[in-house]
Amino acid sequence: MTEPSVTHPYTPQQELPDHPVPVMQTRSLNVFYGGFHAVHDVDLAFGHHEITALIGPSGCGKSTVLRCLNRMNDLVPSARVEGEVLYHDQDVYAPSVDPIEVRRHIGMVFQKANPFPKSIYDNVAYGPRVTGMKVDSMDDHVERCLRGAALWDEVKDKLKESGYSLSGGQQQRLCIARAIATEPDVILMDEPCSALDPIATAAIEDLMLQLREQYTIVIVTHNMQQAARVSDRTAFFTARPDETTGNRTGLLVEFDKTSTIFENPSDQRTEDYISGRFG
Amino acid sequence: MNGANRVAVAGARRTTELRLDGSGRGGRWKGEVFRALLIFCLVIAFVTLLAVIVQASVRGMPRIDLNLITQMPSTLDRETSGMQSAIFGTIYVMVGLIVTVVPIGVSAAIFLEEFADGTKWWVRFIELNVQNLAAVPSIVFGILGLAFIVRGPLDLGTVAYAGSLTLALLVLPTVILASREAIRAVPTSLRQASLGLGATKWQTIWHHVLPSAVPGIVTGTILALSRAIGETAPLLLVGATVFVTYNPDGFFEGAYTVLPVQIFQWAVRPQEEFRILAAAGIILLLAVLLVMNSIAIWIRNKYTRDA
């Protein structure tokens, strides 16, 4: 095996259990867009206060799986989900569940930083305001969230300025501050660093490791080094072309501790991808 | 409609691409001819506009005075006759039009863009008919207004608001189409950010989509209104045809007339004074139109720069 010699530079605060203590789970998750079968039979468990990375080549369905976790796929009119997505043993796709409520508990950070065209303060305060969250002092809450996103020192003197006035990396941290302002349990990150330079990326990665103390994090990334650097567990996806239509259906190949995936994968396809022979 | 538009756009793009390809025989020569043809068309449009303005200005200049806006129309005092009743009538009709067409048009646009499932046949049917409605001759709306608004079910009589409603039908498609364009231009990432925080669909539209779309909606609406302000034909059928020498009593009472109809009233009279008055009225109407269009362009440029 050609080896990219990955070591985990951060030691988790405690020994990683062999199996995750799940906050969220997917069971036989299948996703269709119209007649197109996008994701096939995914079973995953996202451990309490762990960072789980979803990696794999383009079109393998990792972003689709991520977007199922807080029902963002509902926004695609033709999308259909089969199987279960459990959040603390509650199926988020059960008919009685309000997707709005799901998204209040499971926050999301997008690929491209998308602050609102409002002030930095209002960006952070928006979530608590619209969800009717009770906070003693909004000023304190905004400060706490901006500190939580390691942005406070850079913006404390210009809270009234537009979120657009910040740099790309700062905007992404503002989006993280905005996401934690509704006090979610789980934070989903869809390639949060793909548009950032290495320094801004390093800042976000440090932030993720801090956030792990309080949140369960799921991150989709194209960057294998990033997965190796920050995640506790890694799920490797690949795409299988349909023999008749040629449509590529995503499936989960292997899910294990990150160190195992990168150093001793049990599936040949994972090893090929990790060692750069494919994808 | 949408499909046809897409085909037209795709066709136009392909034509441009082929054009830019420049590998065809005599490509450059043909390009020059085509360019000249386009400039020629532009010149025709511009010269026509200039001719109208110059001709009206030269003829109407003697009557560009305060009397034009402070005096009522009169057939007796030819020298001092004005068009105050028409100015007030136009203001009443336009105010009634704005408060009617903006809420309906913007709501329809929000529904079609944010809620309607474009794959359903009835949504496509509505979209198709909104576009068809934009192509209906204005006189047809006048007849419709006479039958259903002045008489018939609504039975308003020949009042200013009947004119407003008739014009509302006329410009509704334009307002809907412009508002849809503006709403569609709001980036999806903004909607996702809001929904991802647990905001409801309505909160997302109200807090993010509409504020971002307002400049586009305002621009489109002003352009639609500037079409309505110059309309004569449909209003002739819903009451603006009479020669009124007093201002409307309100939106729902009293006879009314509007600027283009008043201009028409004067232009058909044989006396020279009235013809001059008609020319002066044309200058006034054109000035209002140009101001409205300038405001629309100003708003568009301002927000394009800021964005």
Q: What does the pLDDT look like over A171-208, one tens digit per residue? A: 999 999 999 999 899 999 999 888 888 888 888 899 89
Break chain A into its structural domains and give their ranges: 22-114+186-274
CB A216 within 8 A of CB A50: yes
Report whether A107 contacts A179 (CB < 8 A): yes
Q: Which of B119, B203, B208 sits opposite A116 (nearest CB)?
A: B208
Q: State which H helix or E strand residue A252 sits in.
A: strand A248-257
Indicate if the pLDDT at residue A5 is higher than 60. no
What is the predicted pLDDT for the residue at B58?
Answer: 84
Which residues, other chains included, contact B103 with Cβ-Cβ below 8 Å and sequence gap of 6+?
none
**With DSSP H G I counted as helix, E B as strand and the rest as coil, what are the percentages for chain B, rounded to 5?**
75, 0, 25
Beta strands A79-87 and A22-33 are: antiparallel
CA pair distance A113, A170, nearest whole angstrom: 9
pLDDT at residue B118 greater than cutoff 70:
yes
Among the partner residues B117, B187, B196, nearest to A72 by beta-carbon distance: B196
Give per-residue pLDDT as tens, B164-191. 999 999 999 999 999 999 999 888 889 9
Report CB contact under 8 Å: B192, A114: yes
Distance CA B36, CA B307 (A): 35
Nearest CA-CA partner of B217 in B98, B122, B119, B51: B98
Q: pLDDT value at position B59?
A: 83
- Look at A218 and B269; give whichever has higher pLDDT: A218
- Label residue A268 exposed, middle or buried (CB < 10 Å: 0-12, 13-18, 19+): exposed
Give me the amino acid identity at B270.
P
Residue B280: pLDDT band by 50, 70, 90 thresholds? confident
Give me B272's structure tokens. 């020279």
pLDDT recorded at residue B42: 94
Residue with tokens 């369905």, as numbered in its chain = A61
Q: Which residues of B touch A63 (CB under 8 A)?
A: none
- Given a cut of 60, whether residue B10 has pLDDT beyond it is no
Q: How far off is chain A from B84, nearest CA to CA, in Å?
A: 45
| End-to-end Cα distance, chain A | 17
pLDDT tens per residue across span B195-216: 988 888 899 999 999 888 888 8
Q: Which residues of B touch A98 (CB under 8 A)?
A: none
| Residue A125: per-residue pLDDT | 92
CA distances in angstroms from B84 to A219, B192, B281, listed in the order given: 69, 52, 11
Instruction: Give me the percent of chain A exceeding a pLDDT of 90.
Output: 28
Does B192 contact A75 at a Cβ distance shorter than 8 Å? yes
CATH fit for domain A22-114+186-274, picks 3.40.190.170, 3.40.50.300, 3.30.470.20, 1.10.10.60: 3.40.50.300
Residue B7 has pLDDT above 60, yes or no: no
Residue B132 burial (CB < 10 Å; 0-12/13-18/19+)?
exposed
Q: How far is the alpha carbon of B185 from chain A, nearest alpha carbon, in Å? A: 15
Domain B64-306: give its CATH superfamily. Answer: MetI-like (1.10.3720.10)
Q: Spell out the residues 6+ positions from residue B248 whose beta carbon is closer than 8 angstroms to its own.
A: B85, B88, B89, B92, B159, B160, B254, B255, B256
Distance CA A272, CA B157 (A): 81
pLDDT for A91-119, tens place per residue? 999 889 888 889 989 999 998 889 998 89
For residue B189, give the nearest of A104, A110, A131 by CB distance.
A110
**B5: pLDDT strictly greater than 80:** no
CB contact under 8 A, A72 and B193: no
Q: Which of A114, A127, A181 sits opposite B190 (nearest CB)?
A: A114
**Mean pLDDT throughout B24-37?**
79
Q: What is the DSSP code string of A17-78? A: PSS--EEEEEEEEEEEETTEEEEEEEEEEEETT-EEEEE-STTSSHHHHHHHHTTGGGGSTT
CB-CB neighbors (< 8 A) of B197 in chain A: 103-104, 107, 126-127, 130-131, 178-179, 181-182
| CA of B197 vs chain A CAs: smallest distance (Å) | 6
- From CA B125, how far away is CA A26, in angstroms rounded? 40
Examine the pLDDT at A269 and tell me if it is beyond 50: yes
- Of the pLDDT bands very low, low, confident and very high (cuts 50, 70, 90), residue B12 is low
**Predicted pLDDT of residue B9:** 52
At residue A235, the pLDDT reads 92
For the record, the structure tokens of A64 come out as 């689709």
Which pair of structure tokens corresponds to residue A2?
């050609």
Average pLDDT for chain A: 86
Q: Please answer yes or no on whether A130 and B203 come within 8 Å at the CB atom.
A: yes
Least confident of A62-76, A243-257, B34-48: A243-257
B118 vs A contacts (CB less than 8 Å)? 77
Which burial class, exposed, middle or buried, applies to A77 when counting CB atoms under 10 A from its CB (0-12, 13-18, 19+)? exposed
Q: Which helix (H) or strand (E) holds A226?
A: helix A224-230
CA geometry: angle A162, A168, A172, nearest 5 deg: 85
Paired strand residues for A218? A52, A188
Highest mean pLDDT among A18-22, A155-159, B24-28, B86-90: A155-159
- Backbone phi, psi, residue A18, to 5°: -60, -40
ipTM tops the 0.85 cut: no
pLDDT at A232 over 60: yes
CA distance B129 to chain A (A): 23
Please check the confidence at residue B40 and state whether its pLDDT lies above 80. yes
